[in-house]
Amino acid sequence: MKTFNHWLTETEEKLSRAQIEAGDVGHAKTNQFLQELQDGIGRQQAVVKTLNVTGEEIIEQSAAADAKVLKEQLESLNTRWQEVCRQLVEKKKRLEEEKNILSEFQEDLNKLILWLEEADSIIGIPLEPGNEDQLRDCLSKVKLRLEELPPHKGILKRLNETGGIALGSASLNPDKKHKLESTLKEANHRLLKVSKDLPEKQKEIEILLKDFIELDQQLNQVILWVTPVKNQLELYNKVGQPGAFDIKLVIWEKNSKTNVSGKDLDMDFKYYKDIHF
Protein backbone atom coordinates (compact mmCIF):
# COMPACT_ATOMS: atom_id res chain seq x y z
CA MET A 1 0.00 0.00 0.00
CA LYS A 2 2.86 2.39 0.81
CA THR A 3 4.49 1.80 -2.57
CA PHE A 4 1.24 2.45 -4.39
CA ASN A 5 0.57 5.52 -2.26
CA HIS A 6 4.03 6.85 -3.14
CA TRP A 7 3.36 6.30 -6.86
CA LEU A 8 0.03 8.11 -6.58
CA THR A 9 1.60 11.08 -4.78
CA GLU A 10 4.37 11.36 -7.34
CA THR A 11 1.93 11.10 -10.26
CA GLU A 12 -0.40 13.71 -8.75
CA GLU A 13 2.52 16.13 -8.43
CA LYS A 14 3.47 15.55 -12.07
CA LEU A 15 -0.11 16.14 -13.17
CA SER A 16 -0.23 19.34 -11.17
CA ARG A 17 3.01 20.61 -12.75
CA ALA A 18 1.79 19.62 -16.20
CA GLN A 19 -1.37 21.66 -15.63
CA ILE A 20 0.67 24.75 -14.72
CA GLU A 21 3.11 24.29 -17.61
CA ALA A 22 0.39 23.58 -20.19
CA GLY A 23 1.32 25.12 -23.54
CA ASP A 24 4.93 25.71 -22.50
CA VAL A 25 6.38 22.21 -22.23
CA GLY A 26 6.24 21.51 -25.94
CA HIS A 27 5.01 18.72 -28.14
CA ALA A 28 7.68 16.13 -27.31
CA LYS A 29 7.50 16.56 -23.52
CA THR A 30 3.71 16.45 -23.51
CA ASN A 31 3.60 13.22 -25.46
CA GLN A 32 6.36 11.76 -23.32
CA PHE A 33 4.53 12.66 -20.12
CA LEU A 34 1.24 11.19 -21.31
CA GLN A 35 2.95 8.02 -22.47
CA GLU A 36 4.74 7.62 -19.14
CA LEU A 37 1.48 8.22 -17.29
CA GLN A 38 -0.35 5.66 -19.40
CA ASP A 39 2.43 3.11 -18.93
CA GLY A 40 2.44 3.74 -15.18
CA ILE A 41 -1.32 3.28 -14.94
CA GLY A 42 -1.02 0.07 -16.93
CA ARG A 43 1.54 -1.29 -14.48
CA GLN A 44 -0.46 -0.23 -11.42
CA GLN A 45 -3.78 -1.74 -12.51
CA ALA A 46 -2.82 -5.17 -11.22
CA VAL A 47 -1.54 -3.58 -8.00
CA VAL A 48 -4.85 -1.78 -7.45
CA LYS A 49 -6.84 -4.94 -8.06
CA THR A 50 -4.71 -6.96 -5.64
CA LEU A 51 -4.76 -4.15 -3.10
CA ASN A 52 -8.55 -4.01 -3.09
CA VAL A 53 -8.95 -7.78 -2.79
CA THR A 54 -6.37 -8.04 -0.02
CA GLY A 55 -7.69 -4.94 1.71
CA GLU A 56 -11.23 -6.28 1.85
CA GLU A 57 -9.96 -9.51 3.36
CA ILE A 58 -7.97 -7.66 6.02
CA ILE A 59 -10.92 -5.39 6.82
CA GLU A 60 -13.16 -8.41 7.37
CA GLN A 61 -10.64 -9.91 9.76
CA SER A 62 -9.87 -6.70 11.66
CA ALA A 63 -11.49 -5.14 14.67
CA ALA A 64 -14.14 -2.52 13.99
CA ALA A 65 -11.88 0.46 14.74
CA ASP A 66 -9.01 -0.87 12.64
CA ALA A 67 -11.36 -1.94 9.89
CA LYS A 68 -12.80 1.57 9.68
CA VAL A 69 -9.34 3.13 9.32
CA LEU A 70 -8.28 0.60 6.69
CA LYS A 71 -11.51 1.08 4.77
CA GLU A 72 -11.06 4.87 4.71
CA GLN A 73 -7.47 4.49 3.53
CA LEU A 74 -8.51 2.06 0.82
CA GLU A 75 -11.34 4.32 -0.34
CA SER A 76 -8.97 7.29 -0.43
CA LEU A 77 -6.48 5.37 -2.56
CA ASN A 78 -9.23 4.26 -4.93
CA THR A 79 -10.56 7.81 -5.25
CA ARG A 80 -7.11 9.18 -6.01
CA TRP A 81 -6.48 6.34 -8.46
CA GLN A 82 -9.72 7.05 -10.31
CA GLU A 83 -8.87 10.75 -10.47
CA VAL A 84 -5.45 10.03 -11.98
CA CYS A 85 -7.08 7.76 -14.58
CA ARG A 86 -9.71 10.42 -15.32
CA GLN A 87 -7.08 13.10 -15.85
CA LEU A 88 -5.17 10.87 -18.25
CA VAL A 89 -8.30 10.30 -20.34
CA GLU A 90 -9.13 14.02 -20.20
CA LYS A 91 -5.63 15.09 -21.23
CA LYS A 92 -5.55 12.65 -24.13
CA LYS A 93 -8.97 13.85 -25.25
CA ARG A 94 -7.93 17.50 -24.98
CA LEU A 95 -4.74 16.82 -26.91
CA GLU A 96 -6.74 15.13 -29.66
CA GLU A 97 -9.16 18.07 -29.80
CA GLU A 98 -6.24 20.49 -30.04
CA LYS A 99 -4.81 18.45 -32.89
CA ASN A 100 -8.14 18.63 -34.73
CA ILE A 101 -8.42 22.38 -34.16
CA LEU A 102 -4.85 22.85 -35.34
CA SER A 103 -5.43 20.70 -38.41
CA GLU A 104 -8.57 22.65 -39.34
CA PHE A 105 -6.75 25.93 -38.68
CA GLN A 106 -3.89 24.96 -40.99
CA GLU A 107 -6.26 23.78 -43.71
CA ASP A 108 -8.34 26.97 -43.64
CA LEU A 109 -5.23 29.15 -43.53
CA ASN A 110 -3.70 27.36 -46.52
CA LYS A 111 -6.94 27.71 -48.50
CA LEU A 112 -7.09 31.42 -47.68
CA ILE A 113 -3.48 31.96 -48.77
CA LEU A 114 -4.22 30.13 -52.04
CA TRP A 115 -7.27 32.33 -52.65
CA LEU A 116 -5.22 35.45 -51.94
CA GLU A 117 -2.55 34.32 -54.40
CA GLU A 118 -5.21 33.81 -57.09
CA ALA A 119 -6.72 37.22 -56.33
CA ASP A 120 -3.29 38.87 -56.53
CA SER A 121 -2.69 37.13 -59.84
CA ILE A 122 -5.93 38.54 -61.27
CA ILE A 123 -5.16 42.01 -59.95
CA GLY A 124 -1.77 41.81 -61.67
CA ILE A 125 -3.16 40.94 -65.13
CA PRO A 126 -1.90 43.56 -67.65
CA LEU A 127 -4.88 45.20 -69.33
CA GLU A 128 -5.16 45.61 -73.11
CA PRO A 129 -7.17 48.82 -73.72
CA GLY A 130 -8.13 47.92 -77.30
CA ASN A 131 -9.07 44.31 -76.57
CA GLU A 132 -12.72 44.20 -75.50
CA ASP A 133 -12.77 40.42 -74.98
CA GLN A 134 -9.72 40.54 -72.73
CA LEU A 135 -11.15 43.42 -70.71
CA ARG A 136 -14.51 41.72 -70.22
CA ASP A 137 -12.88 38.42 -69.29
CA CYS A 138 -10.69 40.15 -66.72
CA LEU A 139 -13.67 42.11 -65.39
CA SER A 140 -15.66 38.91 -64.82
CA LYS A 141 -12.74 37.43 -62.87
CA VAL A 142 -12.42 40.54 -60.73
CA LYS A 143 -16.16 40.61 -60.01
CA LEU A 144 -16.09 36.94 -59.00
CA ARG A 145 -13.29 37.61 -56.51
CA LEU A 146 -15.20 40.60 -55.16
CA GLU A 147 -18.21 38.34 -54.56
CA GLU A 148 -15.95 35.87 -52.75
CA LEU A 149 -14.32 38.58 -50.65
CA PRO A 150 -16.89 38.80 -47.77
CA PRO A 151 -16.86 35.05 -46.97
CA HIS A 152 -13.07 35.04 -47.03
CA LYS A 153 -13.05 37.95 -44.62
CA GLY A 154 -15.21 35.77 -42.40
CA ILE A 155 -12.69 32.93 -42.68
CA LEU A 156 -9.86 35.25 -41.66
CA LYS A 157 -11.89 36.53 -38.71
CA ARG A 158 -12.44 32.96 -37.54
CA LEU A 159 -8.75 32.17 -37.98
CA ASN A 160 -7.81 35.17 -35.86
CA GLU A 161 -10.26 34.09 -33.17
CA THR A 162 -9.23 30.42 -33.08
CA GLY A 163 -5.56 31.14 -33.63
CA GLY A 164 -4.90 31.44 -29.91
CA ILE A 165 -6.19 27.92 -29.26
CA ALA A 166 -4.62 26.37 -32.35
CA LEU A 167 -1.23 28.00 -31.90
CA GLY A 168 -1.24 27.14 -28.19
CA SER A 169 -1.63 23.45 -28.90
CA ALA A 170 0.81 21.19 -27.09
CA SER A 171 1.16 19.18 -30.29
CA LEU A 172 2.74 22.17 -32.05
CA ASN A 173 6.51 22.54 -32.04
CA PRO A 174 8.04 26.05 -31.76
CA ASP A 175 9.26 26.28 -35.37
CA LYS A 176 5.91 25.33 -36.82
CA LYS A 177 4.16 27.68 -34.42
CA HIS A 178 6.33 30.59 -35.55
CA LYS A 179 5.68 29.74 -39.20
CA LEU A 180 1.91 29.63 -38.70
CA GLU A 181 1.95 32.91 -36.78
CA SER A 182 3.86 34.54 -39.64
CA THR A 183 1.48 33.10 -42.23
CA LEU A 184 -1.56 34.35 -40.32
CA LYS A 185 -0.02 37.81 -40.08
CA GLU A 186 0.70 37.72 -43.82
CA ALA A 187 -2.90 36.68 -44.55
CA ASN A 188 -4.23 39.67 -42.60
CA HIS A 189 -1.98 42.06 -44.51
CA ARG A 190 -2.70 40.58 -47.93
CA LEU A 191 -6.47 40.44 -47.45
CA LEU A 192 -6.46 44.10 -46.47
CA LYS A 193 -4.53 44.93 -49.64
CA VAL A 194 -6.73 42.77 -51.88
CA SER A 195 -9.84 44.42 -50.41
CA LYS A 196 -8.48 47.73 -51.69
CA ASP A 197 -6.98 46.56 -54.99
CA LEU A 198 -9.93 44.56 -56.35
CA PRO A 199 -12.40 47.50 -56.46
CA GLU A 200 -9.70 49.69 -58.00
CA LYS A 201 -9.03 47.06 -60.68
CA GLN A 202 -12.74 46.84 -61.44
CA LYS A 203 -12.98 50.61 -61.79
CA GLU A 204 -9.94 50.72 -64.07
CA ILE A 205 -11.36 48.03 -66.38
CA GLU A 206 -14.79 49.65 -66.52
CA ILE A 207 -13.24 52.98 -67.54
CA LEU A 208 -11.25 51.28 -70.32
CA LEU A 209 -14.37 49.47 -71.53
CA LYS A 210 -16.36 52.71 -71.51
CA ASP A 211 -13.65 54.45 -73.54
CA PHE A 212 -13.50 51.53 -75.96
CA ILE A 213 -17.27 51.52 -76.48
CA GLU A 214 -17.34 55.28 -77.06
CA LEU A 215 -14.49 55.04 -79.57
CA ASP A 216 -16.22 52.15 -81.31
CA GLN A 217 -19.41 54.19 -81.60
CA GLN A 218 -17.48 57.12 -83.03
CA LEU A 219 -15.80 54.88 -85.58
CA ASN A 220 -19.17 53.49 -86.60
CA GLN A 221 -20.44 57.02 -87.13
CA VAL A 222 -17.44 57.79 -89.34
CA ILE A 223 -18.04 54.62 -91.34
CA LEU A 224 -21.69 55.57 -91.82
CA TRP A 225 -20.58 58.97 -93.09
CA VAL A 226 -17.83 57.71 -95.38
CA THR A 227 -19.64 54.75 -96.96
CA PRO A 228 -22.06 56.69 -99.24
CA VAL A 229 -19.25 58.99 -100.35
CA LYS A 230 -17.10 55.98 -101.19
CA ASN A 231 -19.95 54.38 -103.11
CA GLN A 232 -20.51 57.53 -105.16
CA LEU A 233 -16.82 57.80 -105.96
CA GLU A 234 -16.76 54.23 -107.19
CA LEU A 235 -19.82 54.91 -109.29
CA TYR A 236 -18.32 58.11 -110.71
CA ASN A 237 -15.08 56.39 -111.66
CA LYS A 238 -16.81 53.77 -113.75
CA VAL A 239 -16.21 54.30 -117.48
CA GLY A 240 -19.25 55.44 -119.44
CA GLN A 241 -21.28 56.23 -116.35
CA PRO A 242 -23.74 59.00 -117.39
CA GLY A 243 -24.24 62.06 -115.25
CA ALA A 244 -21.84 64.24 -113.39
CA PHE A 245 -20.64 63.40 -109.90
CA ASP A 246 -21.59 66.06 -107.39
CA ILE A 247 -19.70 65.40 -104.15
CA LYS A 248 -21.39 68.37 -102.51
CA LEU A 249 -24.77 66.81 -103.22
CA VAL A 250 -23.66 63.50 -101.72
CA ILE A 251 -22.43 65.21 -98.58
CA TRP A 252 -25.63 67.22 -98.39
CA GLU A 253 -27.74 64.06 -98.66
CA LYS A 254 -25.70 62.40 -95.95
CA ASN A 255 -25.75 65.34 -93.57
CA SER A 256 -29.41 66.13 -94.17
CA LYS A 257 -30.21 62.85 -92.44
CA THR A 258 -28.39 64.07 -89.36
CA ASN A 259 -29.75 67.66 -89.41
CA VAL A 260 -26.44 69.24 -90.44
CA SER A 261 -26.60 72.98 -91.29
CA GLY A 262 -25.70 74.53 -94.63
CA LYS A 263 -22.61 76.05 -93.12
CA ASP A 264 -21.42 72.61 -92.05
CA LEU A 265 -22.21 71.33 -95.53
CA ASP A 266 -19.88 73.92 -97.08
CA MET A 267 -17.21 73.00 -94.57
CA ASP A 268 -17.56 69.31 -95.42
CA PHE A 269 -17.31 70.08 -99.13
CA LYS A 270 -14.26 72.29 -98.62
CA TYR A 271 -12.65 69.54 -96.49
CA TYR A 272 -13.37 66.96 -99.18
CA LYS A 273 -11.85 69.15 -101.91
CA ASP A 274 -8.78 69.83 -99.81
CA ILE A 275 -8.01 66.16 -99.40
CA HIS A 276 -9.02 64.91 -102.85
CA PHE A 277 -8.08 67.69 -105.33
Q: What is the residue extent of each domain of the chain? A: 2-211, 212-276
Please give the average per-residue pLDDT across 138-155, as a whole number.
96
Contact call for residues 201 and 123 (beta carbons, < 8 A) = yes
Per-residue CA distances from 1 to 12, 48, 59, 77, 184 (Å) = 16, 9, 14, 9, 53
pTM of the model: 0.64
Check whether 107 has a pLDDT greater than 90. Answer: yes
Per-residue CA distances from 188 to 192, 201, 205 (Å) = 6, 20, 26
Contact call for residues 124 and 193 (beta carbons, < 8 A) = no
Backbone φ and ψ for 221, nearest 5 degrees, come out as: -65, -40
- Tell me which residue of 199, 174, 66 sits closest to 123, measured CA to CA: 199
Length of the chain equals: 277
**For residue range 53-103, what is the model confidence (pLDDT) as tens digits?**
888 888 888 888 888 888 888 898 999 999 999 988 888 888 888 888 899
Predicted pLDDT at 235: 67
**For residue range 185-236, what is the model confidence (pLDDT) as tens digits?**
999 999 999 999 999 999 999 999 888 777 666 676 766 766 766 666 666 6
- What's the CA gap between 272 and 264, in Å, rounded? 12
- What's the CA gap between 259 and 256, in Å, rounded? 5
Predicted pLDDT at 269: 44
Backbone φ and ψ for 31, nearest 5 degrees, come out as: -65, -40
- Tell me which residue of 232, 229, 223 sits closest to 254, measured CA to CA: 229
Per-residue CA distances from 121 to 21, 213, 227, 233 (Å) = 45, 26, 44, 52
Return the biggest CA–CA distance within the chain.
147
Higher pLDDT, 108 or 36: 108
- Tell me which residue of 32, 27, 33, 28 sits closest to 14, measured CA to CA: 33
**For residue range 160-181, what is the model confidence (pLDDT) as tens digits?**
998 888 888 766 778 888 999 9
Higher pLDDT, 14 or 127: 127
2-211: what CATH class? mainly alpha
